Chain A
Amino acid sequence: MTDQQPTALVIVGARPYGEEPQDIAILDGRIVPVEEAPEDATRLDADGLILLPGLVDLHTHLREPGREDAETIETGSRAAAVGGWTAVHAMANTTPVADTAGVVEQVWSRGKEVGLVDVYPVGAVTVGLKGERLSEMGAMADSRARVRLFSDDGICVYDPVIMRRALEYVKTYDGAVVQHAQDLRLTEGSQMHEGEISAELGLAGWPAVAEESIVARDVLLAGHVGSRLHVQHLSTAGSVEIIRWAKSRGIDVTAEATPHHLLLTDESARGYDPLFKVNPPLRTQADVDALREAVADGTIDIVATDHAPHAAEDKDCEWASASFGMLGLETALGIIQKVLVDSGALTWRDVARIMSEKPARIGRIDAEHGRPIAPGEPANLTLVDPDAAWTVTPDGLHSRAHNTPFGGIELPGRAVATFLRGAPTHLDPRFEGVLA
C-alpha cells in the first residue's frame, strides 16, 4: 500500500533533534541533499515541528499468533506508526511461543506484509518459556527474521546455569539476552509493589528485592562470561544503583525503563482498577525519581514501551484475576516529553538517543534504524508536534485492546507524521491533501 506514495518529498522548516530548522528532502526512501529534490517534489510544511529519527521500540507485545482478540501484527503496527515508531521488537510470549525459526519467520513476514513498521521478532531463550532448556537460538538467528535479541519476557530466566549458558551462546550472533528480572520464588502470587499501600489494600506484595537480586546476579554473570545483557523495565531505585555499578565496572549491560514506570506510582492501585496492574509493578515516587534521573544521566540507556494489549475480559475483573500489562505505543512519546523533556531533564537530541539510536544499536538493527538525519540515510523519520496537547481516550487508540491506564490524562505533544523508508505510515489530519 505504501508503494503508491509519492517518492519525492521535502519536509520544510522542521527542526531536526529540536535544534535549528533545516529542510529535509526524501527521494526513493532515502534522505538526499535538498538541492537534489526534484522540482515537483511534495512540500510538507513542518514549521515548528521537531524531526527525529524514527522511534525504535525494544519491547512490544503484538500478541499474534495466539491472542488476535487482543492485538494483531496489523493493529499493533498501526498503533506503533501512530505513536511515531518505525521499528518494534515483538516479544516471544505468543501462542505458540516464538522459540523456533518457523514462528519468528511468520511474525517477521507478517510484519513485512502489513508494512507499517519494521517488526523484529525476539526469540525465546528457553523452549516454551519454560526455563528448562535453551531454544534453538541459532536457527532463529540464521532465519530470515535475523533474530539478535532473546528473551523469555513475562517470565524470568530464573535458573542461573541456563542464564549463563544463554549469555554465552548468543555471542556467536552478537546477540543479547534480554532479561525480565523477577525472582519467581519471592513473587509467588504477587499483585503489586510491596509497601504500605499493598498492606493497606490486602494485595500480595512484589518486593523490590525480587527484581534487584536478579539484576545483580545477571550483571555479575554477564561480566563473568563477557556477554551482552539487556535488562528490561527497570522499576526500582536499587536496580538503578546496580546497573550504575555494573557499568562502572565495564560490564556490557544496557537497561530500559518504561513510560509508565516513569510516570505512575503504586498509589494508582488504590481504586483496584486492573488497568494499573503491570509487571513489574508500579513503584514508589522515590523509585520514579531515581528512574528519571537514571534516564537523564544515561545509566538507563533507553525507553521501551512494554506495550501489552489485553482483551477486555482480562482486565474487567477482580484485581487478582486480571492480567498484567498496559498499552504503551501511542502514549510513550507524549509521556517522555511530559516527564523528561518539558521538565528540562532531556533535550530532543537525547530523546532521539533513548528512543531510536540506542535501542536500534542494542537490537543490532542500526544499519536501518536509529540513523543520523543526513543525506544518504534511510528516511525512517518521525515528526513531532511538541505543542499538540491531547487527552488520551482509550477508544481513540489504534490497538485492538483498550487497556490504557492513561485515559483522561493530558499529554503535551505527539507524533504527527511517521515515515518508513520515505513512505508515510502515519499522517495527522492537518496534512490531509498534502500527502494522502
Chain B
Amino acid sequence: MRHLLGTDAMSREDAILILDTAAQMAATQEREVRKLPTLRGKTVVNLFFEDSTRTRISFEAAAKRLSADVINFAAKGSSLSKGESLKDTALTLQAMGADAVVVRHWASGAAHQLAHGGWLHGSVLNAGDGTHQHPTQALLDAFTMRRHLVGGGDRAAGGANGSGGATRSGGSGHGEAGDRGGEGPTGKGLDGLRVAIVGDVLHSRVAASNVPLLTTLGAKVTLVAPPTLLPVSLRERDGLDIHYTLDQALDAHDFDAIMMLRVQRERMTGGRSAFFPSPEEYSRLYGLDGERLRRLPDHAIVMHPGPMNRGLEISAEAADSPRSVIVEQVANGVAVRMAALYLLLAGEDQK
C-alpha cells in the first residue's frame, strides 16, 4: 500500500491485513509503555483544511505512539474563501520532507489529487474529503464490529446480560484484544453480519466508506434514510437494501450493528433547501430511542462516528446504554490509524 485514499477499491486481503495489524497495535496499548519505536525518524504531517479536533488528535496520538515526528498544519481556505492552493501547500510539505500526509479537506477528491498530482512523494492518508471518503473511520467501525461480533463462537453472549458493557469478552479492559486470551477474529471478515446505517447517506463520507468496506468484508448493509438524503442513483440500483423509516428496517431485519450518522445542522436549516421538515420529525422517524433500542437483538451494538446530536439522531438512553460502543470506537480509531501509518510507512524501506 502506498496511499490510503478510500475503501471502494480496497481488497478483502488488504482490509483484513489492516484490521489484524490494528489488533496487534491495540494489544501493545495494553502495555505499561505504549510507545513503539517503529516510525522513529519519520515525519507525519496532519494537514487539516477543515476543523476536526477528534480526527486530528486521533491521528496525532497514533503517529506519536509509533514515535514519528508529527507536524500539525491547519491550512486556511474554504470553499468560500480561497486560501493557499492545494498545490502550493503540497509543494511546501514536500519541501519539508513529509513521509506521510494525513489530509482532511472540505473538497471531495482532494486526497486523490494530493496523492496523484505529482506534487509530493510521501504517502497520503485520507482523513475525510468532502462528501467522498473517510477510510480510517470505516476501518475502525469494521474493527469494532469484528471485535464484538466475530470470533470464538461467543457471538450471542454480548450485551444481553450487560456484563462488560458492550464488549462481549467481558472483563474490565474495554475489549482490548489482549483480554480475549486468543486470536479471536484475526484473519476474519464480517461475513453474514447485518448492519444498518441510518441517516444522511447522501452527504456522509462515513457511509460512503462503510458501504463498500463492509460489503467487501462480507457483511450485508441496510441503508435507512429519508429519500431526500439518499443518492438518486442508489435508489435506482438493485440489490441494495433500503428502508425509508427506521421502524420498517427494524421490522425487516435482526441487526447485528446499527450505525447512527450525525445530522448536519445545515441539512435542516437550509431554508428552502432543507432536506426534511423539522428536527422533531427526523427524530420521530429516524432517531434511535430506548424503545427502538429494545427491538434490536440482544447482542446488537450501537455505533456513532461522533460527535453526536443527543436527542436528534440518538437519545441519551441509547447513547449511554451498555450496547453502545461509541467511546470504544474512539479508542479503536487510534489502533486502526497506527496500523495504517505502520503499513504505509514501515514497509516503505523494503520496496
Q: Which residues of A contact B (CB under 8 A)?
A: 188, 191, 194-196, 198-205, 207, 271-272, 313, 316-321
- What is the distance, in angstroms, from A230's C-beta to the closest C-beta of chain B? 30
Which of A198, A200, A202, A271 has most chain B Cβ within 10 Å?
A202
Q: Are A272 and B8 interface neighbours, CB within 8 A?
A: no
Residue of B nearest to A272 (CB): B109
| 5 A-B pairs with C-beta separation under 8 A | A196-B237, A198-B231, A202-B109, A272-B108, A317-B82
Q: Are A272 and B232 interface neighbours, CB within 8 A?
A: no
In chain B, positions 95-146 with a C-beta closer than 8 Å to chain A are: 105-110, 112-113, 116, 129-133
Q: How many residues of B contact A (CB 8 A)?
A: 28
- What is the distance, in angstroms, from B118's C-beta to the closest C-beta of chain A? 11
- Give Cα A203 to B110, complex, Å: 11
- Give Cα A231 to B253, complex, Å: 50
Q: Which of B8, B87, B133, B208 contacts A317 (CB 8 A)?
A: B87
Residue of A nearest to B272 (CB): A185
What B residues does A316 contact at CB under 8 A?
85, 87
Asked whether any CB of chain A lies closer than 8 Å to the CB of B53, the reply is: no
What B residues does A318 contact at CB under 8 A?
86, 105, 107, 109-110, 113
In chain B, positions 147-163 with a C-beta closer than 8 Å to chain A are: none
Q: Are B109 and A317 interface neighbours, CB within 8 A?
A: no
Q: Are B205 and A202 interface neighbours, CB within 8 A?
A: yes
Known: A272-B112, A317-B87, A320-B108. A205 touches B208 (CB 8 A): no
What B residues does A317 contact at CB under 8 A?
82, 85-87
- Give Cα A202 to B86, complex, Å: 18
What A residues does B82 contact at CB under 8 A?
317, 321
Residue of A nearest to B270 (CB): A188
- What is the distance, in angstroms, from B80's C-beta to the closest C-beta of chain A? 10
What A residues does B113 contact at CB under 8 A?
272, 318-319
Q: Are B85 and A313 interface neighbours, CB within 8 A?
A: yes
In chain B, positions 196-255 with a C-beta closer than 8 Å to chain A are: 205, 208, 231-234, 237
Q: Are B87 and A199 interface neighbours, CB within 8 A?
A: no
- Give Cα A23 to B234, complex, Å: 60
What A residues does B79 contact at CB under 8 A?
320-321
Asked whether any CB of chain A lies closer than 8 Å to the CB of B350, the reply is: no
What A residues does B87 contact at CB under 8 A?
316-317
Which of A199, A316, A318 has most chain B Cβ within 10 Å?
A318
Residue of A nearest to B233 (CB): A196
- Give Cα A201 to B6, complex, Å: 10
Q: Are B133 and A202 interface neighbours, CB within 8 A?
A: yes
What A residues does B132 contact at CB under 8 A?
201-203
- What is the distance, in angstroms, from A356's C-beta to the closest C-beta of chain B? 39
- Give Cα A400 to B180, complex, Å: 66
Q: Are A205 and B130 interface neighbours, CB within 8 A?
A: no
Residue interface bits B72-89, CB-to-A below 8 A is 1, else 0: 000000010010011100
Q: Which residues of B contact A (CB under 8 A)?
A: 8, 79, 82, 85-87, 105-110, 112-113, 116, 129-133, 205, 208, 231-234, 237, 273
- Give Cα A313 to B105, complex, Å: 19
Q: Are A205 and B105 interface neighbours, CB within 8 A?
A: no
What B residues does A205 contact at CB under 8 A?
231-232
Q: Which of A188, A201, A204, A313 contacts B109 (CB 8 A)?
A: A201
Known: A200-B8, A271-B116, A272-B113. A319 touches B108 (CB 8 A): yes
Residue of B nearest to A195 (CB): B233
Q: Are B109 and A319 interface neighbours, CB within 8 A?
A: yes
- Give Cα A318 to B232, complex, Å: 24
- Give Cα A424 to B106, complex, Å: 51
Known contacts A199-B234, A202-B132, then 8 further A-B pairs from the complex at CB < 8 Å, ordered by chain A residue? A198-B231, A199-B232, A200-B8, A201-B132, A316-B87, A318-B113, A319-B108, A320-B107
- Give Cα A317 to B87, complex, Å: 7
- Give Cα A313 to B297, complex, Å: 55
What A residues does B237 contact at CB under 8 A?
196
Q: Which of A191, A199, A272, A320 contacts B231 (CB 8 A)?
A: A199
- What is the distance, in angstroms, from B215's C-beta to the closest C-beta of chain A? 13
Interchain residue pairs A-B with the least CB separation, the first 6 = A202-B132, A272-B109, A199-B231, A318-B107, A202-B108, A202-B131
What A residues does B86 contact at CB under 8 A?
317-318
- Give Cα A256 to B273, complex, Å: 32
- What is the distance, in angstroms, from A189's C-beta to the closest C-beta of chain B? 9
What A residues does B8 contact at CB under 8 A?
200
- Give Cα A272 to B113, complex, Å: 7
Residue of A nearest to B212 (CB): A200
Q: Are A202 and B129 interface neighbours, CB within 8 A?
A: yes
What B residues does A195 contact at CB under 8 A?
232-233
- Give Cα A317 to B49, complex, Å: 14
Residue of A nearest to B204 (CB): A202
- What is the distance, in angstroms, from A336's C-beta to the closest C-beta of chain B? 31
Residue of A nearest to B202 (CB): A199
Q: Are B116 and A202 interface neighbours, CB within 8 A?
A: no
Residue of A nearest to B117 (CB): A316
Residue of B nearest to A320 (CB): B107
Which of B82, B129, B130, B132 has most chain A Cβ within 10 Å?
B130
What A residues does B231 contact at CB under 8 A?
196, 198-199, 205
- Give Cα A194 to B202, complex, Å: 12
Residue of A nearest to B49 (CB): A318
- What is the distance, in angstroms, from B158's C-beta to the closest C-beta of chain A? 34
- Give Cα A203 to B82, complex, Å: 18
- What is the distance, in angstroms, from A278's C-beta to the closest C-beta of chain B? 16
What A residues does B130 contact at CB under 8 A?
202-203, 320
Residue of A nearest to B111 (CB): A272
What B residues does A272 contact at CB under 8 A?
108-109, 112-113
Residue of B nearest to A188 (CB): B273
What A residues does B205 contact at CB under 8 A?
202
- What is the distance, in angstroms, from A163's C-beta to the closest C-beta of chain B? 21
Q: Are A203 and B233 interface neighbours, CB within 8 A?
A: no
